Chains A and B, each alone.
Chain A
């Protein structure tokens, strides 16, 4: 590939030192996909952290009991069959035949029970489910029962949760690790489609996975994160490459096969190159969100928060950050457009950028002109331009805004602290959610309104919590949807956050790569690579 090397080798051959090497048979090259992911893998425990790179890592190595398909339906994955008793108080799960860990030991129901417990100790949806669980009991090596204190409607949605924290099944010994302690490198043993090659893991350089030859895929065709996880390459390498310009150059030069999240600024460059293609693998995309800090004035007042919803219009945010309309969508429903719970009900009078109406509301609510502190992240390209747009729309509505800029990690640290505004606290911050994390009111962290137990912003609203509880206990999809609509209508007047539109991030691949599945997570099974 590289002329320099060819020249040096030619010189070596001319000098007569390459003759022996020339006589050796060429080794059969393993089919390897080299991909640059959105971040380097530093932590190996997808339960310990909610970071997306660990979730992606988890899908390579571990498997799940259930998984969500392309149509957002939860399908059995490691589970062969399951049933629920007539009183909906006992769930019985039976594992598929032939499931083994990569060290050769069989996957047992005890492994799964321990894994569910560890996941549920960390994940908010898991915590909610476990509040209704009376016991988890082994029946035999392949079967276990989950007995409920009361009927719970989100058992399958919880166990088939597609995004962080995903309930990955781990060996009992690993799953018994304290949920607040990272698992050890040597404990990264999964029953998923790939095997993590620990001795080739070099943080900051690469993570290596090989095909798990012991893995037994389901017989169904792959769909989303469900179905048969058939691995069609020998090896996958995630290369750590922080510089976006270098990533593109390496892709064009054929040194890597894929970039999970190419910089949106550089996409026009790529569309001109015949050897690369854009792949929109995640049609759900992401949602921009502004979060209120409800622990302090003025956003402890629901009317003032509602005024912000009236003042805002989504398109300016999307234009300023994404630019190309192909990669964004104005979407008023708070649950992702195109998913079962999306509805326009209650949204007619908000998100229309109506500054005059917002001014009136502010006056009625008694806003006293105290500046509000708006945090701006300056180093994440997809977030940087949100804050100036928010500032401009808020000021048009009569707010006084003190926009404070810092790098993203400082924003993350600051938003987690419940300090008063004059002691380094904050009023508003902007972020983005992966759509797969916010598909229903229980899953969506920003709807958690349980005061101090809620995420940063600390909303405290018993009515929202009541509706979330009702949603979690309902198993009829039509009734669930009605609860979600009622919640949305209530939330418009008592917002915990404001949704600012959806955006999409295509991956970019060499044309030699094919078979990437449509899913909320980039997965590598089903992918093929032409020689």
Chain B
């Protein structure tokens, strides 16, 4: 197992190298000049050129790349072109809202989708199954921002139960934190629930026809025990795989959800950085997302061993 983890961790290095080269080149080759953005609308060409020089953007691309890689190897991810703060500081500031949103979304999604999927499979063809599958199609088809606006309109504007926007740090006021997490988490969870419920249903249906399920029933075990202990456990591997793949969905969704609900998280930081061509921030955030994606999928792979004793690394 340790050998497997070590190999997987080493495999992260070439992945990050490819991501780094790709992101760096993509940013330099697409149109947009951070110096012109910083200088403002009334700036002269000389002023823009001076800022470009200050930021080192007048150097050849290979030299800019070498400086960036060199700095990163020394643990320096650079300074944002705009904020006069290091990128690491910026990411630290924005990490909590995104982390909170992701965890709340995952909790809501898993605890809603898995029971719904199991129920739909158990009652295959019934009205419950049709409702769950119908919801799945709807949840998957509706853009996140539309879901967000609908929820804001109902629960914030009409009913006045929850605030429209903003974020309060968990350490400052837990209730206000919770109030502000409910709508964004549900918004982001809906697409995730749709995906997970479908996969759970399909996986459970597959194992429900297995001999060991019939044996369990013949032993007189209750339906709940048969479904939860025997069926769900054996169907867990594809469900876990989808949860891992869904992390990418979560990152993409966070960008939109954080904008709609005014959450100062990493998703919004990414959008702001892209729009203002803040190269050091974009590079660092994308690299960080890549590491998160790879590490979470590694954890998912390891977790397979908990559910399926046949899997050994």
A-side residues, CB < 8 A to B, are: 1-5, 8-9, 40, 42-44, 48-52, 54, 122, 124, 164-165, 180-182, 184-185, 202-205, 239-243, 245-246, 249-250, 252-253, 255, 406-407, 409-410, 412-418, 431, 433, 437, 445, 448, 452-456, 458
In the assembled complex, the CB of B39 is this many whole angstroms from the nearest CB of chain A, namely 6
Contact A2 B160 (CB under 8 A): yes
Give Cα A407 to B264, complex, Å.
Answer: 23
Whether B42 pairs with A164 at a CB distance below 8 angstroms is: yes
Given A5-B179, A255-B165: A50 and B43 within 8 A (CB)?
A: yes
Q: Which of B61-116 contact A (CB under 8 A)?
A: 82-85, 90, 93-94
Q: Are B264 and A181 in contact (CB under 8 A)?
A: no
B268 engages A204 (CB within 8 Å): yes
- B288 at interface (Cβ–Cβ under 8 A)? no
Complex CA–CA separation, A185 to B80 (angstroms): 14
26 contacts between A and B (CB under 8 A): A3-B160, A8-B175, A49-B39, A50-B43, A180-B47, A202-B93, A203-B85, A241-B262, A242-B272, A246-B164, A246-B260, A249-B152, A250-B163, A252-B157, A409-B32, A409-B36, A410-B32, A413-B37, A415-B36, A416-B35, A416-B36, A437-B42, A445-B44, A454-B44, A455-B43, A455-B45
Chain B positions within 8 Å of A412 at CB level: 33, 36-37, 41
CB of B163 within 8 A of CB of A2, answer yes
B260 proximity list for chain A (CB < 8 A): 243, 245-246
Complex interface: chain B residues within 8 A of A8 (CB) = 175, 178
Shortest distance in angstroms between A183's beta carbon and chain B's nearest beta carbon?
9
In the complex the two chains form, is B44's CB within 8 Å of A43's CB? no
Q: Quick one: which of B31, B85, B161 contacts A4, CB cutoff 8 A?
A: B161
- Taken together as a complex, chains A and B put the C-alpha atoms of A453 and B49 apart, in Å, by 12
User: Which residue from chain B places its CB closest to the CB of A54 in the assembled complex?
Assistant: B40
Q: A164-B42, A414-B31 are in contact. Are A250 and B36 (CB under 8 A)?
A: no
CA distance A148 to B150 in the complex (A): 64
* Cβ-defined contact, A180 with B50, below 8 A: yes
Given A246-B152, A249-B164, A250-B164; A240-B46 close (CB under 8 Å)? no
CB distance from B74 to the nearest CB of A (A): 23
A4/B165 in contact, CB under 8 A: no
A240/B262 in contact, CB under 8 A: yes
**Complex Cα–Cα for A210 and B164 (A):** 25
From A5, A246, A406, A437, contact of B175 by CB (8 A): A5
- Is A43 touching B38 in the complex (CB atoms < 8 A)? yes
Contacts of A205 in B (CB 8 A): 167, 264
Let me know if B48 is at the binding interface, CB within 8 A: yes
Given A5-B179, A243-B259, A253-B157, residue A413 in contact with residue B32 (CB < 8 A): yes
Report B143 CB to chain A, min CB distance, Å.
13
Contacts of A458 in B (CB 8 A): 45
Within 8 Å of chain A (Cβ to Cβ): is B275?
yes
Cβ-based interface call for B29 (8 A) = no
Query: Please, which residues of chain B bring their CB within 8 A of the CB of A40?
Result: 272
Residues of chain B with a CB closer than 8 A to A122's CB: 47
Q: How far is the CB of A339 from chain B (nearest CB, A)?
A: 18
Task: Please determine whether B276 and A42 come into contact, CB atoms closer than 8 angstroms.
Answer: yes
The total of interchain contacts (Cβ-Cβ below 8 angstroms) comes to 165
A456: contacting residue among B45, B156, B165, CB under 8 A: B45
A203-B85, A205-B167, A406-B31 given; 6 more Cβ-contact pairs under 8 Å: A4-B182, A5-B176, A242-B272, A246-B164, A250-B163, A417-B33
Q: How far is the CB of A528 from chain B (nearest CB, A)?
A: 24
Q: Does B261 contact A (CB under 8 A)?
A: yes
Q: Are B175 and A9 in contact (CB under 8 A)?
A: yes
Taking CB as reference atom, which chain B residue is nearest A36?
A: B262
**Most central of B164, B175, B277 by chain A CB within 10 Å:** B164
User: Measured between alpha carbons, how far is A180 from B31 in the docked complex, in Å?
Assistant: 24
CB A412 to nearest CB in B, in angstroms, measures 5
Q: Which residues of A contact B282 (CB under 8 A)?
A: none
Decide if A445 touches B42 in the complex (CB within 8 Å).
yes
Q: How far is the CA of A165 from the CA of B271 in the complex (A)?
A: 28
Q: Is B226 an interface residue (CB 8 A)?
A: no
Chain B residues whose C-beta falls within 8 Å of the C-beta of A2 in the assembled complex: 160-163, 179
Of B36, B39, B46, B268, which is in contact with the most chain A CB atoms at under 10 Å from its CB?
A: B36
A124–B82 Cα gap in the complex (Å)? 23
Please state if B82 and A202 are interface contacts (CB–CB under 8 Å): no
Find out whether the CB atom of B275 lies under 8 angstroms from the CB atom of A4: no
**Binary flags per residue of B158-192, CB closer than 8 Å to A gives 1, else 0:** 01111111110000000110110010000000000
- A421 nearest CB across to chain B (Å): 15
Known interface pairs A4-B182, A241-B262, A246-B260; A409-B276 also in contact (CB < 8 Å): yes
Interface residue from A250, A253, A448, A455 paired with B160 (Cβ < 8 Å)? A253
If A4-B161, A182-B84 touch, whether A455 touches B54 (CB-CB below 8 Å) is no
For A412, the closest partner residue in chain B by CB is B36
Q: A4-B179, A249-B156 are in contact. Are A51 and B161 (CB under 8 A)?
A: no
Q: A44 touching B36 by the CB < 8 A rule?
A: no
**Do the beta carbons of B42 and A455 come within 8 Å of each other?**
yes
Chain A min CB distance to B108 (Å): 16
Nearest 9 A/B pairs, CB to CB: A50-B40, A413-B33, A205-B264, A50-B42, A51-B40, A42-B82, A410-B31, A4-B161, A241-B262
Query: Which of chain B's residues have a CB closer than 8 A to the CB of A252?
Result: 157
Q: Taking the complex as formed, is B207 at the interface, i.e. its CB lies under 8 A from any CB of chain A?
A: no
Q: A204-B268, A412-B37 are in contact. Are A253 and B31 (CB under 8 A)?
A: no
Query: Chain A contacts of B271 at CB under 8 A?
Result: 242
Partner of A203, one of B32, B83, B157, B262: B83
Does B51 belong to the interface (CB within 8 Å)? yes
Q: Which of A48, A240, A416 contacts B45 (CB 8 A)?
A: A416
Q: Which residues of A contact B48 (CB under 8 A)?
A: 416
